[in-house]
Amino acid sequence: LSMADSICGNDASYHANQSIGYHIDLNKNEQLQIYNFSAILGSGNIYSTVQDLFKYSRALDSNQLLGEVSTNELFKPHWGDLSNGYGYGWRISELYGHQMISHGGSIGGGGYTSLMIKFPENDYTLIFLTNNADNNALYEVSGVMSAILLGENYIFPGELEVININPDTLRKYTGTYVDEEGSGIVL
């Protein structure tokens, strides 16, 4: 597929042009140690670029990597259904009435997170790579980008305001909260 910038990490050393992984939050930015994946090649240790992952996506779309029957099996729900299912490595769902196929990943404690989202009906592919272990920003940005791409309303993420709340005030809200469908959370 001419994916010249994609490799499997097989030791604890950085490769040429590899970014350094971080854990970034409001209070600090911490450089993380690279994770040694020599025991699990191919699972959670693939280093790539947006350009190479787009080549991979296009190869899947054109049945260049797998035949049509195998590709269809890859993106067909083997658990659940088309609105909430799982194929062979791919989450299958709907967003704004469009079929969405996605796969995310993160590398151990190394500070890398990725997400590929495909909207096959529209021939759209979104690819997100970050060297931040905290995937909250990745999912915020991917949600906004998906909405923009599909012509939906969105709220652009802004800078968070840190608010200090008295612990006694917070204690007033502890308890069990249950929604209309019976799902609950204990705070």
**What whole-number distance in Å separates Cα of residue 7 and Cα of residue 49?**
10
Average pLDDT over residues 37-52: 74
Angle, alpha carbons 23-56-102 (nearest 5°): 60
Express as a percent the part of the chain with pLDDT over 90.
44
The predicted-structure confidence for 115-165, as pLDDT tens digits, reads as follows 999 999 999 999 999 888 878 888 889 999 999 999 999 887 777 678 888
Token couple for 66: 């797998």
Q: Is the model more confident about 58 or about 39?
A: 58
What is the per-residue pLDDT for 36?
64
Q: Residue 48 — pLDDT band, cuts 50, 70, 90?
A: confident
Is residue 108 over pLDDT 70? Answer: no
Burial of 68 (0-12, 13-18, 19+ CB in 10 A): exposed
Q: How many residues are listed for the chain in this entry?
A: 187
Q: How many CB atoms lie within 10 A of CB 99?
A: 16
pTM: 0.78
The predicted-structure confidence for 22-38, as pLDDT tens digits, reads as follows 787 767 788 777 766 66
Average pLDDT over residues 64-75: 94
